[in-house]
């Protein structure tokens, strides 16, 4: 298997065109630095570079327990982008799913059926007493659960990339899916957390504090291993300013007042600690986007399902404030432009 990994890395090394990568990077940077002359930014496509060897198809269930298979699966995505001539950035990650942080607290993995080829989820802790014990214990061992796999896999990526300079320069190893304080908290506590905002606010605050401290400690350790370079980061093949991509999917279930009181201060601490970044949310975000847009260091929003949102509210609190929309639905963006809505060169759509 190690020989196959090297064969695939050598294939990528031969196919990466330095000039194409520089052209693509400069276009992304122009977008992020407000030098985009068009209302919408479509990343420039590369010249297609088909693969030489036949790349294996790796099931995620196998990759979870084998670093070489995880690396091959991630590199296959890079190979596909080069073969298709896509305009997104080249990247890989230690891809263990949304349960990385919850697993540190002892949440058991829920591994999906093999045929779904989907990342695992986690079971929440069994009851509120387990939550109290987690609060009392404080920040857990960062190598517990999936933590050790994340760091060991990253070390293997770095070891391999050191032998292939074009891969090392142009394929980003981006930060693992640590979710965000509220999303991780919901995974660990379960759906009963939404009652706790009203029934047990003191315990919830203490719990969120431990989650945030754990997130901070984990990401400090990550960036010691994978030091950031420059003002930009890659995440999901998207370039953005800042270091973090915080997930806030759980916010759709919370009022703007609860978000502003309980959640935003924690996100702000993370942005202050790590130099800002982007926020992702699924579903409806019109009710909290105004408060979110006030987060210091927020440079971009990556949202899905615009049809569930009041997009004028979204636009007023993103593009009108210089906050980018990343990987935004092309049809929605084009409809806004056709209707005369100024998007100010702040919207990136899939290439």
The CA distance from 49 to 82, in Å, is: 5
Task: Judge whether 302 and 236 are in contact, CB under 8 Å.
Answer: yes
Say what the pLDDT of residue 336 is: 98
Write out pLDDT tens, residues 199-222: 999 999 999 999 999 999 999 999
Residue 2 pLDDT more than 90?
Answer: no
Say what the pLDDT of residue 229 is: 86
CATH code, 224: 3.20.20.210
Say what the pLDDT of residue 101 is: 98
Which own/partner contact pairs does 67-73 have at CB distance under 8 Å and 24+ positions apart?
67/149, 67/152, 67/153, 67/156, 68/1, 68/2, 68/4, 68/5, 68/156, 69/1, 70/94, 70/95, 70/153, 71/5, 71/153, 71/156, 71/157, 71/160, 72/1, 72/4, 72/5, 72/8
Task: Judge whether 319 and 343 are in contact, CB under 8 Å.
Answer: yes
Task: Judge whether 236 and 90 are in contact, CB under 8 Å.
Answer: no
Task: Judge whether 15 and 51 are in contact, CB under 8 Å.
Answer: yes
Say what the pLDDT of residue 53 is: 81
Taking Cα atoms as reference points, which of 147, 136, 140, 105 lies closest to residue 122? 105
Task: Judge whether 282 and 186 are in contact, CB under 8 Å.
Answer: no
Please state the φ and ψ torsions of residue 92, each to the nearest 5 degrees: -140, 165
Instruction: Provide the domain count of the chain.
Output: 1
**Count of other CB atoms within 10 angstroms of residue 266:** 22
Instruction: Give pTM, 2 decimals.
Output: 0.96
Residue-number span of the structural domain to which 265 is assigned: 2-348
The CA distance from 214 to 140, in Å, is: 7
Say what the pLDDT of residue 173 is: 98
Write out pLDDT tens, residues 140-195: 999 999 999 999 999 999 999 999 999 999 999 999 999 999 999 999 999 999 99
Residue 1 pLDDT more than 80?
Answer: no
Task: Judge whether 211 and 250 are in contact, CB under 8 Å.
Answer: no
Say what the pLDDT of residue 54 is: 87
Compute the C-alpha angle 274/120/155, nearest 5°.
Answer: 50
Write out pLDDT tens, residues 40-75: 999 999 999 999 888 999 999 999 999 999 999 999
Averaged confidence pLDDT in the chain: 97
Say what the pLDDT of residue 220 is: 98
Say what the pLDDT of residue 43 is: 97
Write out pLDDT tens, residues 277-321: 999 999 999 999 999 999 999 999 999 999 999 999 999 999 999
Helical H segments across the chain, by residue range: 2-15, 18-32, 60-63, 67-84, 100-104, 128-137, 147-161, 165-170, 181-189, 193-199, 201-225, 256-258, 264-274, 289-293, 311-316, 330-338
The CA distance from 57 to 60, in Å, is: 10
Taking Cα atoms as reference points, which of 183, 177, 180, 292 lies closest to residue 235? 177
Percentage of the chain beyond pLDDT 90 is: 97
Q: Please, which residues have CB within 8 angstroms of residue 251's CB and are 6 or more apart in sequence?
A: 182, 259, 263, 281, 285, 288
Say what the pLDDT of residue 100 is: 98
């Amino acid at each position: 298997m190690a020989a196959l990994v090297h064969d695939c890395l050598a294939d990528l090394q031969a196919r990466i065109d330095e000039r194409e990568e520089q052209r693509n990077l400069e276009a992304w940077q122009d977008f992020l630095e407000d030098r985009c002359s068009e209302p919408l930014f479509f990343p420039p496509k590369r010249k297609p570079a088909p693969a030489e060897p036949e790349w294996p198809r790796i099931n995620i269930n196998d990759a979870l327990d084998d670093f070489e298979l995880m690396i091959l699966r991630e590199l296959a995505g890079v190979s596909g982008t080069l073969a298709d001539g896509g305009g997104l950035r080249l990247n890989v990650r230690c891809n263990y799913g949304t349960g990385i942080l919850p697993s540190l607290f002892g949440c058991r993995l829920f591994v999906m059926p093999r045929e779904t080829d989907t990342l695992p989820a986690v079971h929440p802790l069994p009851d509120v007493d387990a939550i109290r014990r987690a609060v009392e214990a404080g920040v857990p061992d960062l190598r517990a659960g999936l933590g050790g796999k994340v760091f060991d896999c990253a070390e293997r990526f770095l070891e391999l990339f050191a032998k292939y300079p074009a891969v090392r320069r142009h394929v980003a190893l981006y930060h693992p899916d640590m979710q965000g304080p509220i999303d991780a908290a919901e995974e660990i506590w379960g759906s009963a957390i939404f009652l706790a905002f009203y029934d047990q606010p003191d315990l919830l605050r203490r719990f969120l504090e431990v989650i945030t401290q754990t997130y901070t400690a984990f990401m400090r350790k990550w960036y010691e291993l994978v030091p950031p370079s420059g003002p930009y980061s890659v995440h999901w093949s998207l370039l953005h300013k800042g270091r973090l991509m915080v997930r806030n999917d759980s916010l759709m279930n919370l009022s703007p007042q609860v978000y502003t009181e309980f959640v935003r201060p924690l996100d702000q601490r993370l942005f202050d600690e790590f130099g800002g970044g982007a926020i992702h949310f699924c579903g409806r975000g019109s009710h909290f986007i105004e408060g979110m847009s006030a987060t210091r260091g927020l440079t971009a929003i990556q949202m899905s399902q615009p049809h569930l949102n009041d997009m004028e509210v979204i636009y007023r609190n993103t593009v009108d404030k210089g906050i980018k929309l990343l990987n935004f639905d092309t049809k929605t963006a084009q409809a806004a432009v056709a209707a005369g809505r100024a998007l100010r060169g702040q919207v990136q759509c899939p290439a």
